[in-house]
Chains A and B, each alone.
Chain A
């Protein structure tokens, strides 16, 4: 929309939604719904233009700085304005391209060479309406062509996509058939071939039809990944008291990689193999469903003993308070306190003030 700062137009939203057209002579704006509403500026009025990049809540803009209006200027939305510029706001897209074209036209100044035979009457009278000039129709036609071409590109992309999906579908059918045969033992599949099959499924993103377990578990890829993780996570785990939540691990590892990131499932599948590969880390799943990676040397049950001490010292603690004291994430702090409760060392006071843990005096003072 045309934004004359603080202008009535902006408040009324009158020039809010439309199409911007560029000719060799003029910059034209036409309302999207009411084609009779049309305003224009001769390109010769433009001193220079600048871009304003998009931001949060702000669309990309082009600021058009203008010469002062001549006395015989045609009637427009305003007789005068205290601003010497207008702002064109591109709510959807097109700012970059339009800026380029507008710059070109301003540079080339073709209006000086070409006869302005196609003057446009911007008629504000109620009966007026349709812009009859040939120039506009030509512009519209070009726009229509461009739109058709973009549509064609998109539909070409969709067509190609459909063809690709048909082929992918064949692969899915084939894998189902293979899986059935494996189940019904029609033919001998070696261990190696099973692993190969799993890796094919992994490449295609097909769920393992035999076991219905997560994609590609037990593939070489995940084994390698598990070994890598053991290497990468040793130091971070030690820094964090031997335990990290899986979301922390996900962020840490992917931030470090930068490219070729792990999917959440890749991470989980690799971690599931840690124990069987006898690596110095293990995956642990708490009752709440929270998943963590622990150093093998880490013993959460022992940490509970020290948690009990801390809580006793303070009388009582919430997960937040405990987390701050010990320097842990709130998530893991809560899990430790819950575990302590499960083991009978703490009991809870669950009120609207929050969940607070106390030493379990029933245990110690019976």
Chain B
């Protein structure tokens, strides 16, 4: 009785011209094999190009995003296995984590993309493959899923990278952007540029102070200045000290 029902159902579907899911699955399996071959061919011709050319990598990533494919989702994906893009970005992720950990006590877990780029390049050494800022951003986007609070904050044409699970809402972000120009900001400036009340400005600044992302200079002439250590790399030696490096490796 069951089997007859089953067959009738199938017949009905076939009549209507609808393809069944399991048939499509079989089709997908075949197409997957073919795709794998195509990708292998592509890799044999252009793998080096992807390795060496940051522009090409951007193009590649953008195209993938457009069609709804994430080449970095899994190390087990075809893209990663055959084009080697996976290892490149996942290793970069490790390097980013280590730099951020080492410098966290200096900047509270906020660092400019520029400084991060420099430190990562330094860590990779002279003979390593070149890494662009776009590469860093993509690696960081992937790291978010680890729950460590990785975030990307646009400020004045560049980005601040957050690497600690501190709550930074719109108010905090706006202040960071304001501070980016000079490296510091005062309550007075916030009130005049953003038209905020004193209380609101103070609350946001205090939060940044507590998180170690801002430092207070009460000895400045005029209004006390709230400085962002993430923004004044000139004042620091750019070397990561051995103590800091120890902090970074688990």
Q: Which residues of A contact B (CB under 8 A)?
A: 53-56, 153-154, 157-158, 160-162, 164-165, 167-172, 174-175, 177-178, 181-182, 186-189, 193, 196-197, 200, 202-207, 214-216, 221, 236, 240, 244-248, 250-252, 254-255, 259-268, 285, 288-291, 320, 329-331, 350-352, 354-355
Contact = CB atoms under 8 A, between A and B. Distances in A.
17 contacts: A56-B121, A153-B49, A154-B56, A168-B67, A181-B20, A186-B13, A186-B20, A187-B20, A189-B22, A189-B25, A193-B22, A207-B68, A261-B90, A267-B146, A289-B165, A290-B148, A331-B148
Contacts of B146: 246-247, 250, 264, 267-268, 291
Contacts of A288: 149, 165
A54 B38 CA distance: 37
Contacts of B147: 246, 285, 289-291
Given A205-B71, A265-B142, A157 B32 contact: no
Given A165-B67, A182-B21, A204 B80 contact: no
B191 interface: no
B68 A206 contact: yes
Contact of B45 (A160, A204, A291): A160
A56 B122 contact: yes
Given A54-B126, A178-B24, A250-B94, A164 B250 contact: no
A189 B93 CA distance: 38
A263 B165 contact: no
Contact of A175 (B28, B76, B118, B148): B28
A336 to B, nearest CB: 14
B74 A205 contact: yes
Interface string B145-179: 11111000000000000001100000000000000
Interface string B192-213: 0000000000000010011010
Chain B, interface size category, equals 35 or more
Interface in B18-35: 18, 20-25, 27-29, 31-32, 34-35
A203 B76 contact: yes
Interface string B109-146: 00000000010011000100000000000000011111
Nearest to B121: A56
B31 A189 contact: no
Contacts of A171: 28, 31-32, 35
Contact of B35 (A161, A168, A265): A168
B22 A188 contact: yes
Given A186-B20, A193-B25, A247-B97, 18 more contacts: A157-B49, A157-B56, A161-B42, A161-B63, A174-B27, A178-B28, A181-B24, A205-B74, A215-B70, A221-B76, A247-B148, A250-B146, A251-B249, A261-B87, A264-B144, A265-B142, A350-B210, A352-B206
A181 B21 contact: yes
A133 to B, nearest CB: 35
A162 B97 contact: no
B64 interface: yes
B187 interface: no
A290 B69 contact: no
A205 B79 contact: yes
B63 to A, nearest CB: 5
Contact of B77 (A158, A202, A268): A202
A215 B18 contact: no
Nearest to A209: B68
Contacts of A182: 21
A175 B97 CA distance: 35
A263 B78 contact: no
Contacts of A251: 94, 97-98, 249-250
B240 interface: no
Contacts of B49: 153-154, 157
B74 A56 contact: no
Contacts of A329: 250
B8 interface: no
A172 B93 CA distance: 27
Contacts of A164: 38-39, 42
A254 B46 CA distance: 26
A259 B87 contact: yes
A172 B81 CA distance: 19
B21 A165 contact: no
B72 interface: yes
B229 interface: no
